[in-house]
Every structure is written in C-alpha cells, then in structure tokens.
Amino acid sequence: MSKIIIKKIFKWLGAIVGVIILLILLSISILSNPGSFFSEEKHYDSITVYSNKPIGQETDSIMSEVLLRLNAVPIYNPDSKYNLCLCSTQRKFSFFSRLTLRANRVMGFSLLGSAYVNEDYIKELGLKTGGQPKYLTREGSIVHVATHELMHGYLADTYGYFASRSLPEWKTEGYCEYGVNQFVAPKDKGYSITERIDIYLDDSQWNRAAEIHRPHYVWGLMMEYLINIRELKFEQVMDDIVTNEKTYQEMIDWRNSIKDKN
C-alpha cells in the first residue's frame, strides 16, 4: 500500500474520530444544560424545573411532594443544584434519551446533574397497571419517578460518581426506591413494610405490566428493612458484606417471625 493511500486513511480516520468527539461534547453540553430546550422554568429550592407546559399549580403540587420525600432521606443535600426536566411529550423525551443511547420508552433517567422524566410514558403505564401495586415505579406517578431520578444524583454525590457506578443494581435502584417511598408508605394504612412484603409475595397483585418492575419494588423494601428495621447507616448498607441474597432472606425471616408471634 502506498504512502499516499495510508495518509488518506489516517486522514479519514482522524476526521471520523474528530466528528465523534465533537458529537460527544455536544451531547454532554446539551444534557448538562437542558434549559434552552424548554419554554418554562421555575426554581424550587435548589432544583430548577424545566417544562414546555405552563408551570403552575400542578407542577407546584408535584414539587411539594418531591421535596417532602427528599427531605426525609439522610443523603439528601438541599444545597446541591439539580435540573428536573418534565418532558410532556414522548418526542421531547426522546430527543434527550437518544443522546445517551438509551431506549426511548423509559420513565426517566438521571445524568450530568439533570433528571429527565417522561410524563407521557408514565401516564400510559399508570393506565396499564391500574396504579397497582401502590408505591411501585410503574404505578403512574410523576412524583415517584421524579424523586427516584433525583435520588440517583444525591446518591452519586454522597458515594462518589464513579464509585456509585460500581455498586450493584439492587443497591442503587433499591436506595432510590427507598428514598421515594419511605416517607409516605409506612404512614399509609395498609402499606406498612410488612404489608408491602406480603404484596410483593402475592402473585395476584402483579399484572404483566407491573411485573417488570417487581424487582425494584422488593429492592426498595430490602433497603427499608436495612435502614429502618436494622437501623444501618448509609455507609454500612453500601458495604460489600451486605449482599442481595442474604438481605432478602433476612427480611423474609423477619416478616415470618412477626407472623409467628401473631
């Protein structure tokens, strides 16, 4: 192969790499600064909400619930600034999700200081699941998904961004679900942790649409068991010695021991 051809190949390869780097940098810029792609903006404490719908009483109510739940979580830092993008249409959400190579039909994701919520899909799932079981990711609650995605950011702040990426899924997703539910569910008649464990074990409670996120439901319960029942601190929960299988079995044994006493 002649030197001229080799130079041309390297030239084209360099151009391709350059374009890829440029696209990555552009994507990072958009995802970390999404505000210019929305017409509405409002600040709620340190969280900036973006939307293409007028931000009024409905959004105020959502954020009131989100902040109540976040304030009850030990790792929540009210000084950390985050963006919450409420995407009212699938098209708007897909614009951002494609930049991350994620699937378009997901409820939300969190990245680079911004949480993105797919309102259209959340409402669709709520119709499919009938909102049951309650306190499930797919129940159709924008409050639930928004809080969950914001929790990923606070988790990364506390544990370290790269270190948190190495944690097992049941701990990251479980802790976020704990953050969503632990303030409200235990106070709701019929939804104590023991009752929600029973709901998890009852196959009749789970239709096909809800079944997909059944693992998230139990992971949240396992975190609630570790933190509220066993009274472990955040650092202890995230330690490698705390495993999925052992925690699940301990939680079930604990539930059965209460049944035996009754």
Query: How does pLDDT run across 214-236, given as a tens digit for each residue?
Result: 999 999 999 999 999 999 999 99
Fold of 37-261: Neutral Protease; domain 2 (1.10.390)
pTM for this prediction? 0.89
**Residue ranges per domain, the chain?**
37-261
pLDDT per position as a tens digit, 154-203: 999 999 988 998 999 999 999 999 999 988 988 888 899 999 999 999 99
Any bridge partners for residue 40, and if so which?
A: 51
Identify whether the C-beta of residue 146 lies closer than 8 Å to the C-beta of residue 176.
Answer: no
Residue 162: how many CB atoms within 10 A of its CB? Answer: 8
pLDDT above 80 (res 259): no
Q: Rounded to an integer, what distance in angstroms lies between the CA atom of residue 256 and that of residue 148?
A: 29
pLDDT of amino acid 26: 66
Consecutive H or E run containing 135 = none
What band does 10 get if pLDDT is binned at 50, 70 and 90? low
User: pLDDT value at position 18?
Assistant: 67
102: enclosing H helix or E strand: none
